[in-house]
Amino acid sequence: MITMQTTFVMVKPDGVQRGLVGKIIDRFEEKGLRLVGLKQLTPTHELAASHYAVHSERPFYPGLLKFITSGPVVAMAWSGVEAIKVARNIIGPTNGRDASPGTIRGDWAMDIGHNIIHGSDAEETAEFELGLWFPEGLVDWKRAAEDWVYEE
Ligand code: IDP
Ligand code: MG
């Protein structure tokens, strides 16, 4: 069953400071996903708290909020068939030391907290996160290359 999805991806402050934004965008673009939203911003405490509300009882939550609001992030929306799973595969598991080479975290992260990037984990979270970070909406376009990316 072919499901077109849009997922929320964010380069965290460590990824921005380390100069990895361009290389990270390449991974998603070259895979064949379609960029439908992109902006840089320093998240407010309120925005970060809403985004990570599901983790509010966890011991790492205060440190996580401090980290995410510490500087600019790059927020993105990517569309494609099963884009949520595809993006999570490109990103790799949470702890960079467990992540396989070839994934973003596997290539560039050595830590569970400083792990470079976020990606939505399910349809409901993607919808929530896209509404939160892109209240202005996304860009509606067709990437001509999709005729070659997908068989039908
Ligand atoms: P995910 O980003 O791979 O989906 P989650 O379990 O949803 O991972 O955790 C959200 C974020 O919280 C992680 O990306 C990481 O930045 C941070 N985090 C998760 N677990 C820990 C921890 O044990 N220590 C420090 N930070 C953590
Ligand atoms: Mg998560």
Q: Distance from the CA of 94 to the center of ligand 1, in angstroms?
A: 6
Model pLDDT, residue 2: 76
62 lines ligand 1 (CB under 6 A): no
What is the mean pLDDT of the segment spanning 5-14? 98
On average, the pLDDT of the chain sits at 97
- Sign (positive/negative) of CA torsion 56, 107, 102, 132? positive
Instruction: Please give the Cα distance from 113 to 111 (Å, whole number).
Output: 6
pLDDT digits (tens, 9 = 90+) for 45-61: 999 999 999 999 999 99
Q: Which atom of ligand 1 is nearest the CA belonging to 118? A: 2
Q: Which atom of ligand 1 is nearest the CA belonging to 94? A: 3
Model pLDDT, residue 152: 81
CA dihedral (51, 74, 88, 69) in degrees, to 10, reads -40
Active site residue 55: no
pLDDT digits (tens, 9 = 90+) for 69-113: 999 999 999 999 999 999 999 999 999 999 999 999 999 999 999
